[in-house]
Structure 1
Amino acid sequence: MPVHALSEDLKSLIDKLIQLKLTPVAEGLVQLSVSTVALPLIPWLASQTLFPRIYWHGRDRIEEVAAIGACKDIKFETAMSDQQLATVYQEQRALSTNQNIRYYGGVAFDRTIDSWPEFGNSRFILPRIEFRRSGNQFSLLVNLNFADNDHHSEIDNAIAAIEAIMPAKPLSPPKKIGLRGRTDTPNFTRWKTLVEQVIEPKFNQDTPKVVLSRLTQLDVNEPVDPWMVLACWQGRNPNSFQFGFQFSPERTFISCSPERLFRRNQQELFTEALAGTTIRGLSQEEDIALANALLEDNKNSVENQLVRSHIVNMLTPLSRYVGADELATIFKLNHIQHLHRAIHAELKIGVNDFQLLQALHPTPAVGGLPRHSAMSFIRQQEGYMRGWYAGACGYFNQYESEFSVAIRSALIEPGRINLFAGAGIIAGSDPQAEWQELENKLATIMSILFEL
């Protein structure tokens, strides 16, 4: 095993695993943990050889996780329902009473059609090894799946994974990326046609909002380290969720998303309406003026209010109480600022995460209203497969869960970077202005990629 600062903690964990070989185990899933030293989690993750590699950083900055390997992999390749996923999870949940056991993963934007290779419509991982930071406290955890695997071989596999842990190395130094070409899907001509279709009065009367998006494919000359990109992105927008999923060396999905889908703490739920966008100012005075103009802008205000009303309506049957901000506030990011309304609910007993996913996702901020007709339009007209872009990524366990809406994201593949951006189209939307909004939303990641 490599000699580094973690050696004693890793040895302690191995000793616990050896002792577990001699102990009868009543539960199907077991988690062992030790307190450990502080370390930079993204560089540590990038240094490992075991896949999958998963990173999660909460928007409140209190919690951060780096995880490798899998002792349980729940994956749906094709069309699936949230009820199917809930059934599988309930079976897993029955295998342990440990409230710290977490599954990390995500669901695609449109779970009725095929999604990206490796990611599927839905994929959740119970990692083999996790580093978790809560505030200033670091823990090293190992998970064991005795429900599906032989007792001794599962422990041996866990020991082998710990022994293969490598010390954290510095991330590859940033360097300017050579761009060979750029393709937008839809292109501007097609985008203009789609916007005009959505704002046409007869269509708009039945479907008042459709969130159209664009795939920007950048062909590049050299390999791109996704973890270096995510670390730089994290530095630019620290008040966002930051997460990454790398199921193989060939394909990595990273996101620096400002939007929470929901956070659940037992029966208490927090969510939000985040819709309506403008740029940041070059001075404090200009920034305040732009924010005030956004608050007073009718198009953006209507868009945010539609999202707020929809979320409240969807949560009401699942909740004993739902409360939402009447007035919007400003949520600021590096290059743009959004309208934001906080929403809080007390859930009815028995409501689970998959009912929440079904009710809340896709939100009107990434899909539209009514959901069915907006999704149908996107599916038929947008021209590319969103996959996990605008999907829901996060974690769940028995006690708590948190999911972010995977906007401001990139899928990094050999020789290609796929970037995504969307804009809410309602009556009065202007194709050119909405196209510029897409450019504004890509400004941060483009500045990282091409100003390194």
Structure 2
Amino acid sequence: MTATATTPRALRATALVVETTPLDDVRQLLPFLDARHPLLWLRKGQGMAGLGTALRLEFSGADRMRAAATAWSEIVSRSSVIDPIGRPGTGLMAFGTFAFADDSELPSVLIVPEVVIGRRDGQSWITRIRVADEPADDSTDADGRTGSAAVTAPAMPQPTPFGDEYRLSLLPGSLKKDGYREAVAAAVERIREHDLSKVVLARDLVGHLPLESDLRRALVELALGYPECWTFAVDGLVGSSPETLVRVDHGSVSARVLAGTVSRGADAEADHDAAVSLATSTKDQDEHRYAVESVIAALAPHNSGLAASDIPFTLKLPNLWHLATDVEGALSDGSTSLDLIDALHPTAAVAGAPTADAVDLIRELEPFDRGRYAGPVGWVGADGDGEWAIALRCAQVSENGDLTAYAGCGIVADSEPDRELAETTMKFRPIVEAFG
């Protein structure tokens, strides 16, 4: 049974019963997922897989993240939680994904699963969650998932075989290649004429999945191909993001900022030259600096001792080099991870600088609603800790199988339209290969 709470009255009436118990080490989480509606947060084989929906919270508008923080606090205050393990992701938790734009038509959501199977640092666990007024039930469905009262009837869900293989061709969507070149040129002109330093412009690819397609197949490709990234699936949004928006763990805060990109070289020498070229590129260094400054400015009011390296490092992914900077600090005001994603979003890495002007130009030049692309995606626990990435290298899959993927680039004064178009092609590669 799924409970949906979207109003203050509904929230006040919602209480959850939660129990986490240890498991023998579970090495593979993806086979436990629902083939059509997976819930996943995974990196280097560690994370959480969610089954079913105990509670779904929806939000929209400019205050969507603040509203989520308030709603989550209300839910936590009314919940009964037994968690003898006490690791990140155990106990009461919710998967979340938030729209990029304040006026997006796609809702932002927090989803509390009925069952969570997790693994971290060699410790595996299962958490069962139900709405308090639901009757106890030890039933399992056809896929082996437990009923909503699994807290009192600890039947173990069973992994299920993957569905048939499929191949999907993705085609240009609302913004074709020539249209993207024109948008980049228009952005460069605007930057040179006005007080705008950077704007991030995206384009889209579209396709259609057969209705019985198993999304776990794409997630396996992403998780194996990009193990250093956060592989995620929340409410039809699937992807592997290299960028940590924020991580909160017992008072410590960290973020990884990525901005500035170049394709990997064809051989070792060319690859080395590509990394050196990126590290010494004035254009990429400027783009990266704007992104780091925006993160530090957003986190500073909530942290003491915030620190970041003076010089970015080059981060190697299977298809790209990125300029990267890690930011770390200690919480000084009791903010939760939901409070911090509200403070951070949108960063200059996915919007531009100054932020408000960049968002206005994105709205003008992009002929589509980004949905959850470039918004926060991740999870939050009962204590407010959590891990949130920026939803990059991702696609949104609708209930009828329509798929839309997005990729964008940071545009500055000396950006070249053809180069930026080529960069988006490389950034589409994880999704194109996962579904193709």
Q: TM-score, normalised by structure 2?
A: 0.85
Aligned to 1:67: 50
Q: Does 1:43 align with 2:34?
A: no
Q: Identity over the aligned pairs, expressed in percent? A: 24
Q: Which amino acid aligns with 2:103?
A: I
CA shift, 1:374, in A, is 1.0
Q: Give CA deviations for 1:141-190 in whole Å, capped at 9, x if unaligned.
A: 101332xx256589974249979976323323545x264x7233312332
* Paired residue secondary structure (2:248): strand
Q: Does 1:91 align with 2:74?
A: yes
The answer (yes or no) to whether the contact 1:325–1:343 under 8 Å persists in 2 is: yes
CA shift, 1:97, in A, is 7.2
After the TM superposition, which parts of structure 1 deviate over 6 Å for at least 4 consecutive aligned residues? 153-156, 160-165
* Paired residue secondary structure (1:281): coil
Aligned to 1:244: 233
* Number of aligned residues: 405
Distance 1:387 1:441 in 2: 18
Unaligned stretches of 5+ in structure 1?
A: 1-26, 247-251
CA shift, 1:220, in A, is 6.0
Output the aligned Cα RMSD: 2.7
Aligned to 1:196: 185
Q: Judging changes above 3 Å, is the alpha-carbon distance between structure 1 residues 191 and 162 closer, same or farther for their aligned structure 2 residues?
A: farther
Q: Judging changes above 3 Å, is the alpha-carbon distance between structure 1 residues 228 and 207 closer, same or farther for their aligned structure 2 residues?
A: same
Q: Which amino acid aligns with 1:431?
A: P
* Paired residue secondary structure (1:124): strand
Distance 1:162 1:233 in 2: 34
Aligned to 2:299: 315
CA shift, 1:68, in A, is 1.2
Aligned to 1:275: 259
Aligned to 1:391: 375
Structure 1 stretch displaced more, 253-262 or 278-287: 278-287
Larger radius of gyration: 1
The answer (yes or no) to whether the contact 1:115–1:388 under 8 Å persists in 2 is: no
Q: Give CA deviations for 1:178-217 in whole Å, capped at 9, x if unaligned.
A: 64x7233312332223222221256654221110001111
| 1:55-134 alignment, distance < 5 Å | 55-58=40-43, 61=44, 63-77=46-60, 80-96=63-79, 98=81, 100-110=91-101, 112-116=102-106, 120=107, 122-134=108-120
**Which of the pair is proportionally richer in helix?**
1
* Paired residue secondary structure (2:149): helix
The answer (yes or no) to whether the contact 2:134–2:148 under 8 Å persists in 1 is: no
Distance 2:264 2:344 in 1: 29
Distance 1:388 1:229 in 2: 18
Distance 2:77 2:69 in 1: 12
Aligned to 1:21: none
* Paired residue secondary structure (1:388): coil
Q: TM-score, normalised by structure 1?
A: 0.82
Distance 1:159 1:225 in 2: 25
Q: Give CA deviations for 1:29-56 in whole Å, capped at 9, x if unaligned.
A: 3322332242522122146xxx853111
Distance 2:299 2:62 in 1: 25
The answer (yes or no) to whether the contact 1:104–1:396 under 8 Å persists in 2 is: yes
* Paired residue secondary structure (2:33): helix
Aligned to 1:16: none
Distance 2:152 2:177 in 1: 49
Distance 1:445 1:73 in 2: 27
Distance 1:129 1:417 in 2: 27
The answer (yes or no) to whether the contact 2:18–2:79 under 8 Å persists in 1 is: no
Q: Which amino acid aligns with 2:308?
A: A
Aligned to 2:7: none
Structure 1 stretch displaced more, 69-78 or 218-227: 218-227
Q: Judging changes above 3 Å, is the alpha-carbon distance between structure 1 residues 286 and 55 closer, same or farther for their aligned structure 2 residues?
A: same
Distance 2:95 2:422 in 1: 34
